[in-house]
Amino acid sequence: MRHILFPIAAFLALALPATAQFATLPPAGMPMAFSQAHCSALGEIEGAVATRPADEIERIGAAMEANQNADPVEVARISGLSVPTVTTMGGLDRQSAMAFSMVFGSMLRQYHPDLLMKVLRERGPLGQVPDVSASPLGMVLLDGLMNTAQQTYLTQCS
């Protein structure tokens, strides 16, 4: 299982496939869909993001990046997430991984906005995430993507 830190760092990246890096959200005519497993995983991730300090989320992300080929049990041990959540994230296709990433970004924006900006600045030069932190238009577009994903998550998973 490959892990990345896209788009916004540390925590969800724990188990997203590398192919998520440059995926796009589904076209407007094909809305995002979150399965029950997706909803459960996102709920667990939201609880973790809401209750853990930013430095811990960042530290977990770094450990996950260093252990990119670990099995789901090891990923769960390192991240503190359940094995079902890690397995769900590890099995995401490109579109679902992007939607997950955008929902995760919206969680960081709500609970740890400084971490969101830090990751955009640090990951951009590595080619993993476009650094839009200094671009007002880029931030508007990113906010729009995160808002859409967040609203879909809240609607489908509540």
28 within some domain = no
Least confident of 29-33, 48-52, 60-64, 116-120: 29-33
The residue-averaged pLDDT of 15-37 equals: 57
pLDDT over threshold 50, residue 21: no
Q: Which range among 45-54, 75-84, 101-110, 116-125 shows the weakest confidence by mean pLDDT?
A: 116-125
Domain membership of residue 135 (yes or no) is: yes
Number of domain units in the chain? 1
Question: What are the φ/ψ torsions at residue 66 (nearest 5 degrees)?
Answer: -70, -20
126 by Cβ neighbours in 10 Å (0-12 / 13-18 / 19+) ranks as: exposed
Instruction: Look over the chain and give the mean of its residue pLDDT values, rounded to a whole number.
Output: 76
153 in a domain, yes or no? yes
**Contacts made by residues 74-78, CB under 8 angstroms, sequence distance 24+:** 75/1, 75/3, 75/14, 75/15, 78/14
Q: Structural domain of residue 97, as residue ranges?
A: 12-16+33-157
How confident is the model at residue 43, as a pLDDT?
Answer: 95
Alpha helices in 2-158, H assignment, sequence order = 36-51, 54-66, 72-79, 83-90, 94-111, 113-123, 136-157
Integer Cα distance of 149 and 106 in angstroms = 8
* Residue 99 placed within a domain: yes
Q: What is the pTM of this model?
A: 0.77
Query: Looking at the domain assignment, is residue 150 inside a domain?
Result: yes
- Please give the Cα distance from 91 to 97 (Å, whole number): 9
Contact predicate 108/7, CB 8 Å: no
